[in-house]
Amino acid sequence: MKNLSRCRMPCRPSGHYHCPYCEQTIIRRVDMQKHIKGQHPGASSPPSAYDPTSAPPLASTARSLTPPPPSARSLTPPPPSARSLTPPPPSARSLTPASQDHIYARPSIPGVAEVYGKLAKCPHCNRSMLKKNLDVHMLRKHANISDITQASHLRSICVDENSGIFAVRRTSHGFSIPIHAQRKTWGNAHMVRCELKDCFEFQLLAQRSGLSHSLCAHLRSLDYCGETANQSFLREDVLTEMTSLKFFGEARRAVCLRRQKAAREANVPLCVPVDFGGSQVCFSVHEPSPHSFCHMGRVMVTYNKGKNSWHCPCAKPRMSCAHINISKWHVFQNDPELFKSTEKIKCSSPEDTMAVRRTVQYIQEQKKIPQPLPKEVVMTKVDCDQFFPIETKCQLCAGHPTLDDAVLITNKACIVGMMGLFDNISTYSRQCPLCKMLYRYQEWTDGLHNFNDHLLLSLELCLFLRENVCNHVSVSRVVDSLEGLRGEKYPSRDTILHAYCHFEALTDTDYTFSCVNCGFYPPVVIMDLHRKGVFKLAVSELKAPPEDFNGKQDIERFWESVHFEMLSRAFFQSSAKNPFAVQPNYQHWAPWIGSETRRSDYVLNTEFQKVKPSTLTAEAELSSVTEDRLIDELAKQKVGVVRKLCKACNIDVNGSRLDLITRLRDNMRSRQTYDKVFHSIWGASGGWSVILCPHGIVYSIKFNLRAESPRDFADLLLSWKHLPNVCIYDFARGLATHTNLRVPGQVPFKPYEGRLCEPTDANVSAAKDGKLHVSLPWLHEGVHSGEATAHPITGSSEHYVLYDRFHEKNASDPKDILRRIQLVPELRGWLNSQVVEQFFAKMRKNNYFLNNMSPSTHVFMMRSIVHHHNTCTNTALLERQLSSGRQLQLLSTITLSALGQAVIAQQSQPKMGHESAVEEEPVPQPKPPITACGQHCAVLTALGNLRPCRASWATGGHHPVQEQLVSYVLDESRPTNEIIVKDGPTCLTRENFLTLGLNREMDSVVGNACLCVVKEMAQLQVCTSYFLFV
């Protein structure tokens, strides 16, 4: 039998062999030889008439929609008329419903299994199993669609007998929200339809194919429905009781009564329970108007008893609607026990919890993944299908006893990589005989990351996921792309997300959160809140802390617990069963501040005091989210958002946006309307409070549990080791008042309560006229005041709170004009106060996946994303600075000074003293060439630092610094597009200055900008300048 040839025709999905004596097809050559010897013992060689390239008649007839007669088994193509897309007339059909099922209902499974005693081998996957399990295996693994029978159908229940509407399970396994299907075959108007669009498209396909009798699986399952849901009339007194218990207000109560009246007039049930078992209960609620989510006059509302959450297709997450309120009405009347809060029961025993804790601690301490990873490790190819822990002796017990023999965990694990899936991987574990410590495979040196012994990720995929997440692409979208590219079914998106979080938690990352230019203690910071960065949180579930709680949080302990949860997910199927899950609460919810920037490991988070009435009237007026601030944020929304809010609050939706906002403001006196507007603008939790330096580096981030107030930023600033000299905030007066009232013994913001000068009428008037300028020279040239509260970089103990440019005109107090950035020459023009908004514009692209995560995953992923943002921004800053001086090769030699500022390693320690560069005396030694433009240039050219210098008065010579600057500016070998001077919106490059210094025609824009600089220099010296042109 050496002349057996492999067939690659489409009669089987893969290459196979045809038996020359029967119609059997077998994939492997060895199995075909055994088949011929066992089933055809008298055969010596295959018949010569057999052509191995021809397709067998069985396979060709089993896969056609219209089977040809037995005589038409040749490969000769049919005549052109037989290939027409037009279906034949009904009389010519050879396939009728009475004779046999259509192909959509009962697909054939070709292939015959080989039997060896009690075992049988599947002809498709060659897997051996008991003969009694072969039929079920073939049906589950190798059948495309299972038929609907009395033993196997989708469970359904009748919810409206008059209209013939049923609630049917969407799928046969797992939980999915039931759908509505209608089968009304009595009366004048018959109706048989399914509300799923896919099922409707299937019926159109079947009708075009001449199979108009075909129905989808949901409609066919109604043949076996013998259950009708119980209907109960909802009483109005129950609804009144719910209103008194603050379930909802009078407006929603009126909506529920109107819906009940409409259902009674239409003779349909208002709300019908649909319980198919499990932790989720569904309700079929009447909806009189057709919508995209409602095609049959009913909407399916879902209640999760475990998570105590409601879902309706017409409402956004965490938002209520009329259908949810009616469902709550039904539950409160018929099953009020569901509303009682119960403590969650942990499924794991204390012994199991302790064993998991020890294993996770060992992995966290001994299996850290370095950062960055070696390239050769990332590109390692997997050539092994069995993975054992490398430990052979216990690392915890004294004497290090030998571990037990390796035990197989599973032989069906899979490796997920960039090139696809690798199945049938075996993983093993070892256990200590004394302490029962469990050791598992966790070696990054093999280029793999083991998540839960069933799923392993390649390090290349982990890094690819990191890059995508940092570029605003969710893990689920990456998996979707890989599935489409490789044509393979990947594990669930949530599992891969948890595996990626496991990888990040095990990576040895140093979350420094500091700028290479500003150091650990930036003199100037910009602060703001990202209101749309939220996570799902029911504020009512937050328990009040003990009376003696002072708001101090152990930052290291909190973030270690978050990392511990990410690592422990490998041992629990869900977060509900994980005893190490971190839930938001006032006592254990800390922000993140860099280790060098914060005062100690104990930081402040006093959000619990937001719910208490403040005894300080000045703080109470400024620290809460008032109606004015809410209206100010509402004015920034689009008219469609405002109109939806008015509709939700039962307010007239006609008119302009200003009319709608005015009506909302009038109705915001009621708590119900205020809460609706607040949740629409602020989201679920309180958003992210962040502090950035002017270069866009995030120094602190706080994940608020409640609405933002100046208290959140005061918590962050008071946790810093050194308070910044200048803080930019959109509510500067409120921040200064709140912070000073919290620390009355040592006022943080002084002098003048954080204003730039004394709030006298003369100063206010001068600031309005644009004649007031307050110079802060220590921002560019440090001083030595000798005070204990002096900033380590600037040397000043003055601390100011200023408004950002977009909100400085919103201040109602006339004295707040003294908090404007434009009054400070050192800040005017070069400080970008909108750097936070630019950061939020980038982070807003992540909201679509971050806002749907659990609170602990949300904060973990957000801190990781911000860390990589800081790393990339710092690298870009250094590259731009070094490329300006054409010293990019020194990037690898950059180190940090004691203050966290970048220095080149070859240089000596930076000077701690600061002297005026303009008054510097000439040094009789060769002048080093100016190779880079950095902070020293900013000090030299700052107008506030210029002073009269006698060396520049003589006509016979020039100051050496002037010669250096002029030579640098007029150097034609340097880039012509380098910005030399920036005066407001005008930027002058080297090319513009070359027209001044090389006897060329001068551009008028250049001349005007230079004269403006001269005029500003004269004003700083309290001189009047006049220009005469001849």
* pLDDT at residue 623 tops 50: no
Give 360's pLDDT tier (boundaries 50, 70, 90).
very high
Give 278's pLDDT tier (boundaries 50, 70, 90).
confident
Give 68's pLDDT tier (boundaries 50, 70, 90).
very low
Question: How many angstroms separate the Cα of 119 from the Cα of each of 109, 123, 127, 129, 131?
Answer: 20, 13, 10, 5, 5
Phi, psi of 116 (to 5 degrees): -130, 90
Report the alpha-carbon distance of residue 282 to residue 170 in Å, rounded: 13
Domain residue ranges of the chain, discontinuous segments joined by +: 156-224, 236-337, 350-506, 927-1020
For the ranges 436-440, 530-534, 943-947, the one whose mean pLDDT is highest: 436-440
User: Which residues contact residue 48 at a Cβ distance below 8 angstroms, ignoring those fewer than 6 apart?
Assistant: none
Q: What is the pLDDT of residue 456?
A: 96
Give 171's pLDDT tier (boundaries 50, 70, 90).
confident
- DSSP bridge pairs for 728: 526, 802
Q: What is the pLDDT of residue 188?
A: 85
Average pLDDT over residues 566-579: 87
Q: What is the pLDDT of residue 905?
A: 74
Closest CA to 840 of 728, 733, 692: 692
Q: 862 near 812, Cβ under 8 Å?
A: no
Q: What is the pLDDT of residue 935?
A: 46
Point out the least confidently predicted range of 115-119, 578-582, 952-956: 952-956
Give 226's pLDDT tier (boundaries 50, 70, 90).
confident
Q: What is the pLDDT of residue 496?
A: 96
Percentage of the chain exceeding pLDDT 90: 40
Give 540's pLDDT tier (boundaries 50, 70, 90).
low
Report the alpha-carbon distance of residue 578 to residue 574 in Å, rounded: 7
Q: List, for residues 686-704, the tens digit of each pLDDT value.
A: 789 999 999 999 999 999 9
Question: How many angstroms separate the Cα of 1028 from the Cα of each of 250, 534, 1005, 1011?
Answer: 76, 60, 17, 11
Torsion of CA 722, 726, 730, 733, to 10 degrees: 90
Q: What is the pLDDT of residue 929?
A: 46
Q: List, for residues 176-186, the tens digit of each pLDDT value.
A: 889 999 998 88
* pLDDT at residue 934 tops 80: no
Average pLDDT over residues 36-62: 53
Point out the least confidently predicted range of 314-323, 403-412, 675-684: 675-684
Q: 528 near 784, Cβ under 8 Å?
A: no
Phi, psi of 650 (to 5 degrees): 60, 45
Q: What is the pLDDT of residue 351?
A: 62
Q: What is the pLDDT of residue 780?
A: 87
* pLDDT at residue 565 tops 90: yes
Helices (H), ranges, 65-196:
131-141
- DSSP bridge pairs for 179: 168
Q: What is the pLDDT of residue 428?
A: 95
Look up residue 386 and give its two tokens.
């069995």
Q: 646 near 660, Cβ under 8 Å?
A: yes
Decide: residue 692, CB within 10 A, 0-12 exposed, 13-18 middle, 19+ buried: buried
Q: List, for residues 422-456, the tens digit of each pLDDT value.
A: 999 999 999 999 988 999 999 999 999 999 999 99
Q: What is the pLDDT of residue 1001?
A: 61
In whole angstroms, what separates CA 264 from the centre of its chain?
Answer: 45
Phi, psi of 956 (to 5 degrees): -85, -10
Point out the least confidently predicted range of 55-69, 549-563, 858-872: 55-69
23-26: long-range contacts, CB 8 A cutoff, minimum separation 24: 23/56, 23/57, 23/58, 24/112, 25/56, 25/59, 25/110, 25/111, 25/123, 26/114, 26/123
Q: What is the pLDDT of residue 152?
A: 79
* pLDDT at residue 239 tops 60: yes
Q: What is the pLDDT of residue 57?
A: 40
With H, G, I as helix, E, B as strand and everything else as coil, classify residue 975. coil
* pLDDT at residue 678 tops 60: no
Q: What is the pLDDT of residue 84?
A: 39
Average pLDDT over residues 384-401: 92
Look up residue 424 and give its two tokens.
């049938």
| Cα atoms found within 13 Å of the Cα of residue 429, Cβ hemisphere only | 15
Phi, psi of 729 (to 5 degrees): -150, 150
* pLDDT at residue 104 tops 50: no
Residue-averaged pLDDT of the chain? 80
Percentage of the chain exceeding pLDDT 70: 77
Q: List, for residues 473-529, the tens digit of each pLDDT value.
A: 999 999 999 999 999 999 999 999 999 999 999 999 999 899 999 999 999 999 999
Report the alpha-carbon distance of residue 298 to residue 974 in Å, rounded: 73
Phi, psi of 991 (to 5 degrees): -65, -35
Q: How many CB atoms lie within 10 A of CB 922?
A: 11
Q: 388 near 406, Cβ under 8 Å?
A: yes
* pLDDT at residue 817 tops 90: yes
Q: What is the pLDDT of residue 644?
A: 77
Q: What is the pLDDT of residue 443?
A: 93
Phi, psi of 422 (to 5 degrees): -125, 110
Average pLDDT over residues 524-548: 82
Phi, psi of 988 (to 5 degrees): -110, 130
* pLDDT at residue 723 tops 50: yes
